[in-house]
């Protein structure tokens, strides 16, 4: 399986949440794992947000960020190009997606086209999940 992982799923690799174990297992079993380049900033911001909301203490936040930053180079990263953003622009209207969800979907579709084989998208965002399914992408869980 080739796995595209969005921010909502990627955070679960570094912070124990519901479905963290399933995401970890899927990443371990995947042939390739990719995400959009912007996911680096989104994931760091998401981990910091969990600390602001008191779901993580300072040592958990620091450990999660450190683990994430060490693992970042293991992921294939889809570059955010003008063409990809233009595609995401169209996807926002087609599926009524938020901006970064459309970017994730455009990244996943681009990667699937580049690989010329099916991918699976891991997300815990309901709208992105539905749009991916309607686009012909398999979804995790």
pTM of the full structure = 0.95
Q: How many domains does the chain have?
A: 1
Percentage of the chain modeled with pLDDT above 90: 99
- Above 90 in pLDDT, residue 141? no
Dist. CA 112–CA 91, nearest whole Å: 16
Q: Any idea what the CATH number is for the domain that residue 94 is in? A: 3.40.50.1010
114-137 confidence digits (pLDDT tens): 999 999 999 999 999 999 999 999
Query: Residue 45: its pLDDT value, please?
Result: 98
* Per-residue tokens: 119: 């991918």
Cα 121 to Cα 64: distance, rounded to the nearest angstrom? 22
Residues 28-32 have a mean pLDDT of: 97
Residue range(s) defining the domain that contains residue 122? 2-139
């Amino acid at each position: 399986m080739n796995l595209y992982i969005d921010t909502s799923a990627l955070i679960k690799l570094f912070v124990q949440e519901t479905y963290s174990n399933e995401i970890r297992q899927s990443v371990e079993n995947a042939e390739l794992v990719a995400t959009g380049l912007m996911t680096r900033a989104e994931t760091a911001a998401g981990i910091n947000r969990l600390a602001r909301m008191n779901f993580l203490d300072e040592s958990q936040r620091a450990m999660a960020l450190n683990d994430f930053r060490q693992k970042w180079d293991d992921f294939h990263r889809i570059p955010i190009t003008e063409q990809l953003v233009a595609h995401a622009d169209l996807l926002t209207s087609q599926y009524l997606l938020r901006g970064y969800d459309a970017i994730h979907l455009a990244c996943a579709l681009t990667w699937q086209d580049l690989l010329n084989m099916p991918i699976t998208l891991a997300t815990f965002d309901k709208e992105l999940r539905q749009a991916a399914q309607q686009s012909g992408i398999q979804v995790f869980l």
